[in-house]
Structure 1
Amino acid sequence: MQNRKILLGITGGIAAYKSAIIASKLKKLGYDIYVVMTENATKIISPIVFETLTGNKVYVEMFKQIDYTEVEHIELAKKVDLIVVAPATYNIIGKIANGIADDMLTTVISAFKKDKFFALAMNTNMYENPILQENIVKLKNNGYKFIDATSGELACKTIGKGRMAEPEDIVIKIENYFNKKDILKGKKVLITAGRTEEAIDPIRYMSNRSTGKMGYSLAKAAKLYGADVTLISGPTNLKKIDGIKTINIKTANEMYEETLKKYDNMDLVIMSAAVADYKVKEYSNEKIKKQDDDLTLKLTRNPDILFELGKMKKNQYLVGFAAESSNLIKNSLGKLKRKNLDMIIANNVSGFSSDENKAYIILDENKIIELETMQKNELAFKILDKIIEYKINL
């Protein structure tokens, strides 16, 4: 293993004593560990413990420097590959979510451009506080990663959710992160996202409520796994993702044409866009005037992009999405077979405009994997992990 560098951030939660186990295990696995502690954390466990375990200086105070030629918080942010905060308390989540950097740890986190994990740990009432949950969603939407708390007896003697995950589980999460980071390196991945718009006249169009969040989350996750990602996006309010080639389209026909141009060279194709099934048969070049009678629009079928890709499939691994309002599994299985897909992600239409989604990963009648409701950026990694698991040669 390469000599990966991890910054372990330790805050003033009672679970700070478990952080010594995390540091020890990571050190034994060959990681180079740097520790930053808050002042309150030093009242629970001594920095000497971590200096002994890691062989590196422990950082606590912002301005207690020996070498004034280096700005320590910036140098640390440049030096490490990953930040893991364990325990991550209510206090530090609130600070980072609201842009507060008033000590060494929050300042390093704020200056760090790579991935950051927070291992949650706090009293159950604090964990259930809506403000915390809002802050977690805000951070997740900005790329921060979380290791959720578990249920059990807490230090305050109450029973509930808030215990920090066991050190062994946290170490496994870190190991999985590094081992999978380049797992799609050298692979070409095509993802479609968002909705399409079908013009009726110069100012009106037909569309749907898709936000594009699922497709964009998949694109980000595939990029993190090392893939060469192309994103074909219908209209959304989402920001363009750095490092990903994005092709913007509006109509189903435009998405069809752009997808066909790229399809032959792809290893993995994930069609998560909500493509309009129909368009108006006769587009009006002028605005349609309001009349006393009802207006009738004649619709004609758009190309079924996924069906066409299934017919042309060679070595590509082809994944589709099924958004259904009823008979979710039955209808999704039918689509899987009819369109010659390798995998289909089934979800209820209620997830269209939400940050969360509950989905089923379906490979055939005997392989239906039900997932819990989760943030779409978390679901993206679950989907990619299953694709990698079942497509050995991808």
Structure 2
Amino acid sequence: MTGRADRSVLLIVCGGIAAYKALDLIRRLGEQGIRVRTVLTEAGARFVTPMALQALSGERVFTDLFSLTDESEMGHIALSRASDLIVVCPATANMLARMATGQADDLATTVLLATDTPVLVAPAMNVRMWEHPATQANVATLRARGVEFVGPDTGRMACNETGPGRLAEPDAILAAIVHRLDGERPLAGRRALVTAGPTHEPVDPVRYLANRSSGTQGYAIARLLAEAGADVTLVSGPTTLPDPPGMHVIRIETAREMLAACTSALPCDIAVCAAAVADWHIAAATQKIKKTDDGRPPELRLSPNPDILATLSRSASARPRLVIGFAAETEHVIAHATAKRLRKGCDWIVANDVSPATGIMGGTENEVTLIDASGAEHWPRLDKTQVARRLVARIATFMHTQPETEIT
């Protein structure tokens, strides 16, 4: 057993077939010496019993917001603040919606609304429910408020459908809980720069050149670097995503503005260039370009944008210890990405296939290959947060095993 001896978790068990895995999670938490109190929702009680939860946790199970006995011994306000971490497992689509909208119509939601304790949720639901825009909007809202997520995994579910929505395995949830409780921050003291989103290159005052990047992958990387203890600067092109908490965010429009923002963020230890930067810009017209009577299109002269990844990689005075680029390709993904890594001079390239059929550009999942000097490592299709978690873990390992270079 590692960590403090007095660690405690409040586990909220919601309704869903995956609720039975909460029993295994309680057992594993107990083996780590972590005290577990449980709140069981009305729907959750249709899948697991209070007696089973109590037998495994050795603690009373709380179910009723209006129980006078419970309110006299531990009111919902006290319950919401009596543990080091609140874990919602499984977190159903309904619970995520109620959390995002601030409902407080039962004990679980009242506890969540009244708490200032960190919250970790482990979602579990049908793939269509997870992918629905309403659920994704709720997830984005909760993440922006600092709620942490573990999973969901991709796989076959009880409904016989396959895709993202499967509850993360108890080992993974346990690891996330222990990481949060023990304050493991492997990148504490490191400075990181992350670029994310598209750039908009103006054609005239009302038009621009852009791409379909949503910024989701870059934002997830920035958030998890910050959770790992890094001092993060996020340079973001235009997106609809809220600023992630706990970092310095610089909003830009063009590639030239992004380069200037990146340069101002140096020196740093880690640079992750996840933005989909436009390759070209135009000498923008000062007035809206009008159609001509003959219908001929205007002549647009393209000029190359600065190469941000190459600039950071080849900086003689302030090169980060680790420079990571992204390669969004539609054909010959590995060959093109490998050539790009050598051409740009970066340490790693994260390559992915963004052909329209993949749904990756602008979507919630990614399937990447990590390429470095030793070769290529393919990762399975994952939620973009899971991709970010893997990448940040790899970054932390690199920073602890490679020779140290002083950042001045």
Pairwise TM-score range, normalised by the shorter structure: 0.7 to 0.9
Worse-matched range after superposition: 28-37 or 382-391: 382-391
Q: Give the 3 Å change call, closer, same or farther, for CA 376–30 of structure 1 in structure 2.
A: same
Q: Which amino acid aligns with 1:352?
A: M
How far is the alpha carbon of 1:274 from its aligned partner?
A: 1.7
Q: 2:392 aligns with which of 375, 384, 393?
A: 384
Q: Does 1:229 align with 2:232?
A: yes
The answer for the alignment partner of 1:333 in structure 2 is: 338
- Using the size of structure 1 for normalisation, the TM-score is 0.82
The answer for the alignment partner of 1:220 in structure 2 is: 223
The answer for the alignment partner of 1:36 in structure 2 is: 39
Q: Does 1:202 align with 2:205?
A: yes
Where 2:178 maps in the other structure, the secondary structure is helix
Structure 1 CA distance for aligned equivalents of residues 157 and 303 of structure 2:
61
Q: Give the 3 Å change call, closer, same or farther, for CA 71–290 of structure 1 in structure 2.
A: farther
Q: Which amino acid aligns with 2:335?
A: K
The answer for the alignment partner of 1:355 in structure 2 is: 364
Worse-matched range after superposition: 169-178 or 188-197: 169-178
How far is the alpha carbon of 1:80 from its aligned partner?
A: 2.8
| 8 Å CA contact 2:97, 2:138 repeated in 1 | no
The answer for the alignment partner of 1:124 in structure 2 is: none
| 8 Å CA contact 1:270, 1:320 repeated in 2 | yes
Structure 2 CA distance for aligned equivalents of residues 150 and 283 of structure 1:
45
How far is the alpha carbon of 1:117 from its aligned partner?
A: 2.4
Structure 1 CA distance for aligned equivalents of residues 248 and 23 of structure 2:
42
Structure 1 CA distance for aligned equivalents of residues 43 and 363 of structure 2:
38
How far is the alpha carbon of 1:211 from its aligned partner?
A: 2.2
How far is the alpha carbon of 1:365 from its aligned partner?
A: 5.2
Q: Give the 3 Å change call, closer, same or farther, for CA 131–198 of structure 1 in structure 2.
A: closer
Worse-matched range after superposition: 29-38 or 197-206: 197-206
Q: Which amino acid aligns with 1:336?
A: R
Q: Does 1:192 align with 2:202?
A: no
How far is the alpha carbon of 1:321 from its aligned partner?
A: 0.8
Alignment of 1:1-394 (within 5 A): 1-2=3-4, 3-11=6-14, 19-39=22-42, 47=50, 50-51=53-54, 53-66=56-69, 72-88=75-91, 92=95, 101-112=104-115, 114-118=118-122, 120=124, 127=126, 130-131=128-129, 133-134=131-132, 137-141=136-140, 142-143=142-143, 145-148=149-152, 167-168=170-171, 170-176=173-179, 178=181, 181-264=184-267, 266-280=268-282, 282-291=283-292, 292=294, 293-312=296-315, 314-349=319-354, 350=356, 351-364=360-373, 366=375, 368-393=376-401
Where 1:200 maps in the other structure, the secondary structure is strand
How far is the alpha carbon of 1:309 from its aligned partner?
A: 1.1
Q: Which amino acid aligns with 1:117?
A: V
Q: Which amino acid aligns with 2:273?
A: M
Provide the aligned length of Structure 1 versus Structure 2.
Answer: 382
Structure 2 CA distance for aligned equivalents of residues 267 and 219 of structure 1:
14
Worse-matched range after superposition: 8-17 or 205-214: 8-17
Structure 2 CA distance for aligned equivalents of residues 201 and 18 of structure 1:
56
Worse-matched range after superposition: 30-39 or 86-95: 86-95
Structure 2 CA distance for aligned equivalents of residues 85 and 390 of structure 1:
32
Structure 2 CA distance for aligned equivalents of residues 249 and 340 of structure 1:
25
Structure 2 CA distance for aligned equivalents of residues 379 and 217 of structure 1:
9
Where 1:75 maps in the other structure, the secondary structure is helix
| 8 Å CA contact 2:151, 2:386 repeated in 1 | no
Where 2:281 maps in the other structure, the secondary structure is strand
Structure 2 CA distance for aligned equivalents of residues 151 and 233 of structure 1:
32
Q: Give the 3 Å change call, closer, same or farther, for CA 19–377 of structure 1 in structure 2.
A: closer
| 8 Å CA contact 2:312, 2:320 repeated in 1 | no
Q: Give the 3 Å change call, closer, same or farther, for CA 150–232 of structure 1 in structure 2.
A: closer
Aligned residues: percent identity?
A: 33
Q: Give the 3 Å change call, closer, same or farther, for CA 95–205 of structure 1 in structure 2.
A: closer
How far is the alpha carbon of 1:323 from its aligned partner?
A: 1.1
| 8 Å CA contact 1:232, 1:247 repeated in 2 | yes
1:164-205 per-residue CA deviation (whole Å, 9 max, x = no partner) reads 666555434533555675222221111111222223333333
Q: Give the 3 Å change call, closer, same or farther, for CA 146–310 of structure 1 in structure 2.
A: closer
Q: Give the 3 Å change call, closer, same or farther, for CA 180–320 of structure 1 in structure 2.
A: farther
How far is the alpha carbon of 1:334 from its aligned partner?
A: 0.9
1:333-357 per-residue CA deviation (whole Å, 9 max, x = no partner) reads 1111121211111122342222322
Structure 2 CA distance for aligned equivalents of residues 279 and 245 of structure 1:
27
| 8 Å CA contact 1:359, 1:371 repeated in 2 | yes
Structure 1 CA distance for aligned equivalents of residues 286 and 17 of structure 2:
68
How far is the alpha carbon of 1:118 from its aligned partner?
A: 2.5
| 8 Å CA contact 2:205, 2:287 repeated in 1 | yes
Q: Which amino acid aligns with 1:270?
A: V
How far is the alpha carbon of 1:84 from its aligned partner?
A: 3.0
Structure 1 CA distance for aligned equivalents of residues 208 and 27 of structure 2:
60
Q: Give the 3 Å change call, closer, same or farther, for CA 197–97 of structure 1 in structure 2.
A: closer
Structure 2 CA distance for aligned equivalents of residues 222 and 311 of structure 1:
23
Structure 2 CA distance for aligned equivalents of residues 166 and 209 of structure 1:
33
